Amino acid sequence: MNARAAVVVYGATGHTGRFVVAELRRRGFATVVSGRDAARLEALAAEWPDAVVRPATVDDAGSLDRALAGAVAVVNCAGPFAVTGGPVVEAALRAGIPYVDVAAEIEANAAMFADHAEAARKSDTPVLPAMAFYGGLGDLLATAAMGEWTAADEVHVAYGLSNWHPTAGTRAAGEVSHQRRAGRRVRFADGALQYHDDKAAVQDWLFPEPLGRRAVIAEFTMADVVTVPSHLAVPDVTTYMTVEAARDLAAADTPEPEPVDALGRSDQTFVVDVLVRAGGVERRATARGQDIYAVTAPLVVEAVQRVLDGRTRSTGLASAGAMFDAADFLRALSPYLSVELPR
């Protein structure tokens, strides 16, 4: 391990956090595991004896500062991000180190852009919210699909999940978002987030083979409605979810993911199909892989690596598509992702 390149993972004991720690270590980064539960952190460190343990809580700024001391970056994997995002990014800005999170919460991501962009710009500190399956991957695919286009009329992001066994963290974050919206649904249309009480509509989406035609819930709105229009001139961004996966998420008795391979991944497979339209012309970009939680780890760690290497197109607070060469980034994720991009 390279002790001079220690990355703090806040929320390291969570489902996604463990994947992120494992991927950092695989790439040779020293890791500092942090979070609220000291006992769970110590148990995690027993599996990885050279990991440094630094407990911290978001209501104690001093503990966060101590957790980040001497690190080169911090990855926030601890939801709900409506609670953790602000304190952890503020600690990163005080330390002058890059901040990356895996937030899928729409409102938490919108607040990150609204509340911390100016401070990140002034300090010249990279801040990457939603660098995950939801928010990050769709943004990269949309950006790669647009290519040289500077604007588009519509972006559609369809999620073809074989199933969705949500983690406890996913359920907790979803409950926070539901409460913040007072039960309303949300869309991004006419250049703005719109809250509404319209009934969810079901339609068909023609995914690439072998998935094929599937029933999806339209306006099953995910974090892409924040990341994509944060840097692309697109007035309408719509996301879709396969009906089966949406039912899994809604059911209170759906169990958490179960590992089926040596990497700890579940048997869940996915296709993310992005369609961009401009002036009657369509472009498509698609990604396939296994386990939405596990694939977040290479997305996050590739981002950390590129930020530390200086392979960025932006500084301050930016989404994945604005910060990186999207097509190059996506191709670098093999073998975790199989991607098809416009030529």
* Residue 110 in tokens: 């919108």
What is the model's pLDDT at position 35?
97
Same-domain status, 189 and 287: yes
The total number of structural domains that make up the chain: 2
The angle that helices 106-123 and 81-95 make with each other, rounded to 10 degrees, is 10
What is the model's pLDDT at position 2?
44
CATH of the domain at 155: 3.30.360.10
What is the model's pLDDT at position 68?
98
Same-domain status, 37 and 186: no
Same-domain status, 194 and 300: no
Same-domain status, 217 and 230: yes
What is the model's pLDDT at position 180?
87
In a domain, 331, yes or no: no
In a domain, 152, yes or no: yes
The angle that helices 168-180 and 106-123 make with each other, rounded to 10 degrees, is 90
- Secondary structure (DSSP) of 323-341: HS-HHHHHHTTTTTEEEE-
Phi, psi of 100 (to 5 degrees): -135, 140
What is the model's pLDDT at position 210?
82
Is beta strand 201-206 parallel, antiparallel or unpaired with respect to 192-196?
Answer: unpaired
Residue 213's CB: how many other CB atoms inside 10 A? 9
In a domain, 151, yes or no: yes
Task: Give the residue numbers spanning the domain of 117.
Answer: 2-132+296-326
Same-domain status, 57 and 201: no
What is the model's pLDDT at position 5?
75
- CA dihedral in degrees (193, 195, 197, 200; nearest 10)? 30
**Residue 65 neighbours by CB under 8 Å, 6+ apart:** 91, 94, 95
55 vs 33: CA distance, rounded Å = 8
What is the model's pLDDT at position 1?
41
Same-domain status, 94 and 208: no
Same-domain status, 229 and 121: no
Same-domain status, 90 and 162: no
Same-domain status, 279 and 300: no
Same-domain status, 138 and 286: yes
Supply angle C-alpha 65, 70, 2, rounded to 5.
Answer: 140
CATH of the domain at 317: 3.40.50.720
Whether the CB-CB separation of 226 and 139 falls below 8 Å is answered with no
What is the model's pLDDT at position 343?
77
**DSSP class of residue 229?**
G
Tokens 């809604």 locate to: 250
249 vs 31: CA distance, rounded Å = 32
In a domain, 35, yes or no: yes
What is the model's pLDDT at position 3?
42
Phi, psi of 84 (to 5 degrees): -95, -25
205 vs 215: CA distance, rounded Å = 6
Q: Which of 334, 335, 305 is nearest to 131 (CA)?
A: 305
What does pTM read for this prediction? 0.96
Same-domain status, 111 and 25: yes
What is the model's pLDDT at position 178?
86
In order along its 343 residues, the chain shows pLDDT tens digits of 444 579 999 999 999 999 999 999 999 999 999 999 999 999 999 999 899 999 999 999 999 999 999 999 999 999 999 999 999 999 999 999 999 999 999 999 999 999 999 999 999 999 999 999 999 999 999 999 999 998 999 999 999 999 999 999 999 999 988 888 888 999 999 999 999 999 999 999 999 988 899 999 999 999 999 999 999 999 999 999 999 999 999 999 999 999 999 999 999 999 999 999 999 999 999 999 999 999 999 999 999 999 999 999 998 999 999 999 999 999 999 989 999 999 7
Same-domain status, 149 and 271: yes
In a domain, 195, yes or no: yes
